[in-house]
Structure 1
């Protein structure tokens, strides 16, 4: 994919087909961050005080219970650091919640165990039915869309929300944050993972099994019903405390023997393959541009450093054939069949039924009400 323009401030470029540039060559991802996100983001005294008020309420509501909140943990840097902050800095009693969709790397498993054991926390693991997961995963490959990681992400969200609803857990803490994620992936790169209409449409066209056990969620259920009817709140504590990625990684390594990953989201072997190879090589979308741009805007990386890193391939040339074979074998297909999906014509989320209009309306409403402040999407 030909790059005709790159932002003069970050490293986002016209591989995002909806990107806009001002007269100084600065993109709308940057301008949205400076005008919307930064003015309302406080990790200083006020931010900590605001967070403490919520923490006090969580502790009060959790009196007499085995745990006062749940934290979804993948073993990645954001969720791992959040678990540490919640227990050691905020004094919470979280239930650590992990969803095993069949793609965990051994490093991720080790990281989760080390932190949970050292902090003496309880770990609840939900294992997704592999045969259904595999069938849905193959459906997305056959559909030809970029967002083939949706089955895994949807399962994560749905399982945690279902658990919270079933057991009347009022607080879910997530590692989502502005510090490393203030620039969002363009919607054409990664369509909304919670769109159950699209998931069902793709599966109905390409799947071979009924999804009897696979967990489902929907935008209306978890954005409206759960918070406003059931009173379940999703909180992002890392937005209220200083969070520098390199410092957090060093702390986790020193305290728990936590092992770093080559890139964000690589705790999943599928996500590693998808983000480092499938997405950039088939569609021309390199998520490192989003990740590095976030770090540039928050002062954790220079633009020159990012440009230098982007000169290298996003995947390991020496091991990509092994990764390709691993994915094929795990999905019970041949390498040749997986290659046919790679070579097939590219499709987009617009080629299938969706709830895109609901997401657009909801996003505008939440931004107007000040509920949502992070980047453009």
Structure 2
């Protein structure tokens, strides 16, 4: 980790950054091992089966075709849980992700519910984020996932979700790289979007986010397992025919392009530094091994031009428009505020910046 793309980072007199200490605190409070972990898992499984009695499903697992959700599904099968796998289809699935998901449901014997987003509306929100010049374009997907899960839990009468997020591989991430505030999404879309938000899973009233009613309890089961990423890959490849896609969350074409090209080119962010640091913190990687990983290209060899052509065509960008976006000023999420009342004046300033670009962006 460094201060190239994270001005909030700081180091002690030993050269150790604040993220290490943040990880150790999370590990202390959230990760269970040994007998304590075994007892917790038994307690969770017993609770899910008891609450799921006379229902079709004990719990839901959100599946993407990635490592975390795939391993979580395999463990749920081993525990004898009746699972409804839910996949959020935002139009950016890779073929490999689809195949991995098919293997999960067929080999585990689970049902699959696919939530298909309204593409034109979803694309309009993504384009609004591009126009705003903010860093966390993935918030458009993440916010929608959690709101849709709440609805599905209510619809299917399921009270529990097994959550694939975990401390061992996902704790470390600078706050300046993310903003999952739905009110910020609404603010950005109000000024840059063209299509009304009618079908997007997150709902708003009078410019304010309507929080879901909380139909489920989330259980971070991976925090109670011996979760070693390298070993888990070997297990799910052997048991479920899982195929590696080369990067964290690269099961999505857009995420691969966003993390592998947009972040480093426009925002000077190499997300691998956070992901690899997390593996160092959890004892799964040495610093020397991580540095060797960073010497490799950010993007899978030969894939960048293929993905760039696909993404630009799907979003309706010309090459000139996209190049102008990469070179345009970036703005913090806070620049636009978190509701429609707090960023009227800053929007005028944003338009002034964009007006300097000779070619009009995203007309």
Task: Give the TM-score band, short-chain normalised.
Answer: 0.7 to 0.9
Of 257, 278, 284, the residue aligned with 2:268 is 284
Of 74, 81, 91, the residue aligned with 1:102 is 91
Structure 1 residue 350: Cα displacement: 1.5
Q: Does 1:21 align with 2:19?
A: no
Of 312, 315, 318, the residue aligned with 1:328 is 312
**Matched residue pairs, number?**
335
Of 26, 31, 36, the residue aligned with 1:41 is 31
Q: How do residues 128-167 of structure 1 correspond to structure 2 at under 5 angstroms?
A: 128-167=117-156
SS at match of 1:188: helix
Query: 2:57–2:158: 8 Å Cα contact kept in structure 1?
Result: no
Return the alpha-carbon distance in structure 2 between the equivalents of residues 196 and 240 of structure 1.
Answer: 30
Q: Does 1:207 align with 2:197?
A: no
SS at match of 1:70: strand
Residue of structure 2 in register with 1:113 after alignment: 102
Structure 1 residue 321: Cα displacement: 2.4
Of 281, 285, 297, the residue aligned with 1:301 is 285
Structure 1 residue 33: Cα displacement: 2.1
Query: 1:197–1:354: 8 Å Cα contact kept in structure 2?
Result: yes
Structure 1 residue 167: Cα displacement: 3.6
**Moved beyond 4 Å, runs of 4+:** 217-220
Query: 1:81–1:252: 8 Å Cα contact kept in structure 2?
Result: yes
Return the alpha-carbon distance in structure 2 between the equivalents of residues 319 and 269 of structure 1.
Answer: 10
Residue of structure 2 in register with 1:3 after alignment: none
Give per-residue Cα distances to partners, 1:227-285, cap 9 Å, x unaligned. Answer: xxx5x211110100111111111111112211011111000000000011101111111
Return the alpha-carbon distance in structure 2 between the equivalents of residues 36 and 122 of structure 1.
Answer: 33
Q: Does 1:122 align with 2:111?
A: yes
Return the alpha-carbon distance in structure 2 between the equivalents of residues 41 and 286 of structure 1.
Answer: 27
Give the stretch that moved more between structures: 172-181 or 327-336: 327-336
Q: Does 1:264 align with 2:252?
A: no
SS at match of 1:116: helix
Return the alpha-carbon distance in structure 2 between the equivalents of residues 196 and 116 of structure 1.
Answer: 31
Query: 2:132–2:192: 8 Å Cα contact kept in structure 1?
Result: yes
Of 61, 67, 76, the residue aligned with 1:86 is 76
What TM-score comes out, normalization by structure 1 length? 0.85
Give the stretch that moved more between structures: 22-31 or 326-335: 326-335
What TM-score comes out, normalization by structure 2 length? 0.88
Residue of structure 1 in register with 2:43 after alignment: 53
Return the alpha-carbon distance in structure 1 between the equivalents of residues 27 and 254 of structure 2.
Answer: 31
Give per-residue Cα distances to partners, 1:137-178, cap 9 Å, x unaligned. Answer: 111111101111121222211111121134432101111111
Unaligned ranges ≥5, structure 2: 340-363
Return the alpha-carbon distance in structure 2 between the equivalents of residues 280 and 38 of structure 1.
Answer: 32
Structure 1 residue 204: Cα displacement: 0.8
Structure 1 residue 220: Cα displacement: 7.8
Unaligned ranges ≥5, structure 1: 1-10, 356-377
Q: Does 1:196 align with 2:182?
A: yes
SS at match of 1:96: strand
SS at match of 2:114: strand
Return the alpha-carbon distance in structure 1 between the equivalents of residues 50 and 303 of structure 2.
Answer: 51
Residue of structure 2 in register with 1:319 after alignment: 303
